[in-house]
Amino acid sequence: MALGKADSKKKETAEAAEAPAAETKAPAVETKAAEKPTAAAPTAPAAEQIQPEGKKAPAGRKTAAADKKPAAAKKKASGVKKTEPAVKKAGQTAPEQPVPAETKEAPAAEKTVPEEKPAAPAAKKAKPAAKKAAPAQAAQKEEAAAEKPAEEVKKEAAAEEPAQVQEAAVETGYSDQPRRSVAFIGSECHPFVKTGGLGDVMYALPRELARLNCDVRVILPRYACIPQEYQDKMVYRGEFYMDLGNTGRNYYVGIMEYIWDGVVYDFIDNQEFFTAGKPYTNLVDDIPKYCFLSKAALAALNYMDWIPDIIHCHDWQAGLVPVYLRTLFRDTPVGRARSVLTIHNLRFQGIYNIPTIRYWSGLPDEVFRMGALQQNWVDANMLKGGLAYADRITTVSGTYASEIQTAEYGENLEDHLRYHSGKLRGIVNGIDYGMWNPETDPALAVNYGLGSVLEHKMENKLALQKELGLEEDAGKFVIGLISRLTNQKGLDLVNAVIPQVMDGNTQIVVLGTGDKEYENAFRYYEDAYRGSFSACIQYDEARAHRIYAGSDSLLVPSRFEPCGLTQLNAMHYGTLPIVRETGGLKDTVEPYNEFTGDGNGFTFDRYDAELLLGAINRAKTLYFNNRYHWDEVVQRDMAKDVSWEKSARQYKDLYLELTRW
Ligand code: ADP
Ligand code: GLC
């Protein structure tokens, strides 16, 4: 039975003491289709087969290297527990600090003494901190053995970057704000690797937080697909070996560092996990990969003796971080950090059978219960576990924070989220004004600002039409669509209305990749409406900028949209959004009111093709019949504050709330 809001609030107060009743019922057994591996799923090993002899990887990963590991490395990686406190940095939690009230929210299992040793890395495994980028994985060999003690390595490397971070805060004049240190952990970050908005947020928010006197470190995988230009800038920071789950192996963890604009980026290096040409492949590989990332990130913080006040994790790929923090790492230095878990997209949760996740994570049995990782009788859910153990949960808009507590948007976690609603809040995303600025954007044919948009936007439209082989006519109404081509984005509605939209005065430009059915449908329309429809089935950052600048309007008719960044980019470029009133779209686009002239764009509520068509037609009517009012909205949108400033302050306040001293 679904809990009402009031009930859920009441229950929350008791949550430290007992497992939630609402959580103990078996949720629907169905797992997200999108999450299921397409390859044959590995057979779930029976519980009693997991640990002992053979230690075979149930998810079918290669284990050959394990046996090659020299005895010395095995010994060192077995978990040397550091007892000395981490070097205290400004604003860092003192161990003797009073325990903040939020501790009450910790699930019962937090009190359980972990059965396994904390994964503190071997203290003596590191190489000296080289000043030049180390050859990838060179250190994965046994000769990586200490040429210089790790303690020295740590001090050398650590001495450099905090000064730079501090400078950044001083320069921008916010150093009067209380200082806090934050480690971001996530799976993508522009400009190193980006598949969608998560990459934008992981880039922009840390930079804004640095301006608000935060000491920020972003921990990411060192994927092989990160462009060479950035690989070359990374500096070797150290390495150690770490055990992982029940694999019986010690895994190499290299730390490659890049310090840029007041933010420290630490890339976790391991060739076995991060060599694919793209970040996400299939769950069979992704589950072990992100178990490894979550554990290695915490071990790396211990290794570097950089213990942040806050660990801010993003999406399911870092979902196990709060769980590790309160179990295997609880008694290590990093265990005193508070955790925030941000949901960027609830559709993806990291669900797999319990034995596999148990095998790769090595998490104690207590976390595999209904109130935490257990999803149903068969599966474990990494995001669900993170939500249970995190000190705070955020998502990327207020409306989505409410929506995900309903069956329609809750992706089977609505009960769990309602149960934890006391620590859940929505903070809307912004965009980075350095990266998205039509006045300086190097990708555009002509730069423009608020004062020159009316003259120069046309020129960008003509340049875009030329670039894409469309009829060059500034009088046409150009509609852009920049999107991952997935079921989330409302593309079936778009497909349904295209023939009615193509009236001879309208052009459509699509930029995106994804599901074949959508890619092919858009290719079909390009063929059917030559000169008026362009289907760019590709990922092209610079072209995206030109579409934002050259279009009159941008379509975002999503089925659900946690925040959405494309409508924000569009408004900032004077391009009026046409959106469905859901999630962050609802929170950021005020509907145009034809009587008062107020608003930022055109909206519709129910997920219905006719309603989308109605919104497009209202946009066209204003554009063709009342350009004066259209232009007013263009200018209003460009002037609207969609920067990170306000939202970053809300995150900072949240961090302060968690670390009152
Ligand atoms: P999501 O994260 O769900 O994909 P968002 O709207 O939050 O959606 O973010 C999408 C981001 O990815 C935006 O910065 C957008 O410009 C960019 N983007 C999406 N598809 C493409 C593409 N094919 N080429 C270039 N950029 C793209
Ligand atoms: C997700 C969501 C999107 C959001 C982005 C960044 O990918 O789909 O709505 O803007 O994350 O938070």
User: What is the residue extent of each domain of the chain?
Assistant: 453-642
CB 580 within 8 A of CB 607: yes
Pocket test for ligand 2, best of 203, 345, 429 (most atoms within 8 A of CB): 345
CB 342 within 8 A of CB 198: no
Residue 584 CA to ligand 2 center (angstroms) comes to 9
Q: What is the DSSP letter of 643?
A: B
Counting from 1 in the atom list of ligand 1, the atom nearest the Cα of 567 is 6
CA-to-CA distance for 355 and 352, rounded, in angstroms?
8
pLDDT at 177: 79
Q: Which residue has the tokens 């077995």?
A: 78
Residue 490 CA to ligand 2 center (angstroms) comes to 15
Residue 102 CA to ligand 2 center (angstroms) comes to 27
Length, in residues, of the chain: 661
- The alpha carbon dihedral of 214, 217, 219, 220 has a sign of positive
Q: Where are the beta strands (DSSP E) in 233-330?
A: 235-243, 250-260, 263-269, 310-314
User: Residue 7 corresponds to which amino acid?
Assistant: D
CB 375 within 8 A of CB 526: no
362 in ligand 1 pocket by Cβ < 6 Å? no
Give the pLDDT confidence of 375-425 residue by residue, as tens digits.
999 999 999 999 999 999 999 999 999 999 999 999 999 999 999 999 999
End-to-end CA distance of the chain: 41
Residue 196 CA to ligand 1 center (angstroms) comes to 4
Assigned token pair, 328: 């295997």
| E strand or H helix that includes residue 533 | strand 533-536
Counting ligands in written order, which one lies closest to the CA of residue 583?
2
376 in ligand 1 pocket by Cβ < 6 Å? no
CATH topology of domain 453-642: Rossmann fold (3.40.50)
Residue 242 CA to ligand 1 center (angstroms) comes to 35
430 in ligand 2 pocket by Cβ < 6 Å? no
396 in ligand 2 pocket by Cβ < 6 Å? yes
User: Residue 38 corresponds to which amino acid?
Assistant: T
Counting from 1 in the atom list of ligand 2, the atom nearest the Cα of 488 is 8
The stretches in the chain having pLDDT less than 70 are 1-176
Q: What is the DSSP letter of 86?
A: P
CA-to-CA distance for 614 and 622, rounded, in angstroms?
12
pTM of the model: 0.79
| E strand or H helix that includes residue 416 | helix 414-419
CB 293 within 8 A of CB 318: yes
Residue 290 CA to ligand 2 center (angstroms) comes to 19
Whole-number CA gyration radius for the chain: 25
431 in ligand 2 pocket by Cβ < 6 Å? no
Counting from 1 in the atom list of ligand 1, the atom nearest the Cα of 195 is 12
554 in ligand 1 pocket by Cβ < 6 Å? no
43: helix, strand or coil: coil
Residue 348 CA to ligand 2 center (angstroms) comes to 11
191 in ligand 1 pocket by Cβ < 6 Å? no
Counting ligands in written order, which one lies closest to the CA of residue 577?
1
CA-to-CA distance for 215 and 440, rounded, in angstroms?
28
Counting from 1 in the atom list of ligand 1, the atom nearest the Cα of 548 is 16
CA-to-CA distance for 49 and 40, rounded, in angstroms?
20
- CA nearest neighbour of 486 among 464, 515, 512: 515
pLDDT at 175: 56
Q: Which residue has the tokens 């009450």?
A: 104
CB 283 within 8 A of CB 36: yes
Counting from 1 in the atom list of ligand 1, the atom nearest the Cα of 484 is 20
564 in ligand 2 pocket by Cβ < 6 Å? yes
Residue 566 CA to ligand 1 center (angstroms) comes to 7
Give the residue whose CA is nearest to atom 26 of ligand 1.
541
Pocket test for ligand 1, best of 343, 432, 482 (most atoms within 8 A of CB): 482
195 in ligand 1 pocket by Cβ < 6 Å? no
Output phi, psi for 205, to 5 deg.
-65, -45
Assigned token pair, 112: 């359980």
Nearby residues of 267 by Cβ (< 8 Å), 6 or more positions away:
192, 219, 220, 221, 222, 226, 234, 255, 256, 257, 258
564 in ligand 1 pocket by Cβ < 6 Å? yes
* Cross-strand pairs, 238: 255
Residue 404 CA to ligand 2 center (angstroms) comes to 14
Residue 579 CA, distance from chain mean position: 22
Cα-Cα-Cα-Cα torsion 519, 520, 521, 523, nearest 10 degrees, comes to 90
Pocket test for ligand 1, best of 205, 468, 484, 539 (most atoms within 8 A of CB): 484
Counting from 1 in the atom list of ligand 1, the atom nearest the Cα of 541 is 25
Nearby residues of 177 by Cβ (< 8 Å), 6 or more positions away:
169, 212, 213, 652
- CA nearest neighbour of 327 among 296, 357, 365, 300: 365
168 in ligand 2 pocket by Cβ < 6 Å? no
* Half-sphere exposure at residue 402, Cβ-oriented, CA atoms within 13 angstroms: 8
